[in-house]
Amino acid sequence: MIVLKQGFFLLLVLVALAGCAVNPVTGRNELALMDIPVAQEIKMGKQAYGQALQTMGNSYPDKALSAYVDKVGQRVARRSHRSELKYSFKVVNDSSPNAFALPGGFIAISRGLLINLENEAQLAAVLGHEVAHVTARHSVQGMQRGALLGATVSILGGIAGDYGYGDLAAQLGGVTAGLIDKSYSREQESESDRIGIDYMVLAGYAPQGAIELQEIFYRKIEGGANPDWLTGLFRSHPFSKERLDANRNYVSTKYATGKSTYGLDKAAYQKAIAPLLRTRQAYELYDQARRLEAKKQLDSAIATYHKAMQSAPEQGLLLSGLGMAYLRKEDLIPAKRYLLKAVQVDAGYYQSQMGLGYIYLQNKNAEKAAHYLEASLQLMPTQQSVFLLAEAEESLGNRRKARELYQAVAKAAPGSKLGRVAAARLQKLGR
């Protein structure tokens, strides 16, 4: 009972300290539990951005496509309320239709959403909507509410800090997932729709593109037609027929006299996303192979990965998928061959590096194992990579570093099998 009273007292203190401030973008009064400086907002977003891209297959490996999406995004962002931010727009190599924005201007759109759009104005509408989430600081608002309801503000200081292996649990546990998967309210979505439309129109795009985008969304989810959309974009961005009607009304009312048709050319857009169209079949096979792996049908999955590579042999994610499938089958020779090629094609994907680290560890080459595992950790810290690196350092005689790494895993996942093994190894090494 005493604990409850203390917690309630702390909550009252936080409510008393919290104030309200007018958001200059939305014009609404909002909770202002604490002021999060722009520099800290950027640092939070930047840290989560790299990890988010890694968990979704990394960036799509085509410079021309990346430049095209960035050009459209920057054109819209320059017209935003926070045009001084250094916005980043990436194409994430994931088949599920998705887009997300992180604090500080870090924005991504998935391969799976890009390929379902029909023109550049629709793309501008997506990116304008995400820019609006940034300018309205919707993610920051969510963190402030979470701090108040949880009666703690520690996470707001912690997530902008520099993490070492000892803080692995905090780094992996809540920051990235909380920012990426945070579901926006219907009010925030409607707000971002309106602000995003304003941004794209100011950038010269036809507002009709925003309505066409909403119509695509409606067709995809009407009657449960495409379940992938509900688990992708609309998991965090709730959609409804009312939202479509509201946007139609907003455009017809505010931009009734607008004559712009800029960005509605379908042929020009198809040319711009040609790299995605060329690899579409290969990634459909890749997704099929992953589903087979999930069903423990490794031989069928490997055969399907090979079919995918026949039409797109230089795609690092396909090579990595095939190599990891062989690794799960414990067939280390082809696993090593394909993972080495995956790293040659794209050294920036953590899973390829981690897989190679494991293979070299099994082959008793701890030095090479440590090299690849360190590279994996730089890209995406995981409990598995830290544990494997601890084993490599122990084999190399670096007992102090091995202890630190085992301790990090034991601290991050004390109840898991890996955490218990790490704790046992730590005890065995002693002081």
Spell out the domains of the chain, with CATH numbers in brackets: 19-254 (no CATH), 278-429 (1.25.40.10)
Residue 69 has pLDDT above 80, yes or no: yes
Lowest mean pLDDT among 8-17, 139-148, 253-262, 370-379: 8-17
Say if residues 14 and 144 touch (Cβ distance below 8 Å).
no
Burial annotation 92-130 (CB, 10 A radius, 16+ → b, else e): bbbbbbbbbbbbbbbbbbbbbbbebbbbbbbbbbbbbbb
CB burial of 372-381 (b: ≥16 within 10 Å; e: otherwise) equals: bbebbbebbb
Q: Which residue has the tokens 């060329």?
A: 278
Task: Tell how strand 88-92 and strand 106-110 pair up.
Answer: parallel
Residue in 243, 266, 264, 148 with CA at minimum distance from that of residue 196? 243
* Residue bearing tokens 């890209």: 379
* Tokens encoding 240: 């409804």
H-run or E-run covering 106: strand 106-110
Measured in residues, the chain has a length of 431
For the chain, counts of helices (H) and of strands (E): 25, 5
pLDDT confidence tier of residue 312, bands split at 50, 70 and 90: very high
- For the cut 90, the answer to whether the pLDDT of residue 343 exceeds it is yes
- pLDDT of the residue at 294: 96
Q: Give the whole-angstrom CA distance, residue 20 versus residue 28.
A: 10
Closest CA to 49 of 61, 62, 59: 59
The mean pLDDT of the chain is: 84
Tens of pLDDT, residues 216-226 = 988 887 755 66
Q: What is the pLDDT of residue 185?
A: 74
pLDDT at 249: 94
| Percent of the chain with pLDDT strictly greater than 70 | 77
227: number of Cβ within 10 Å: 10
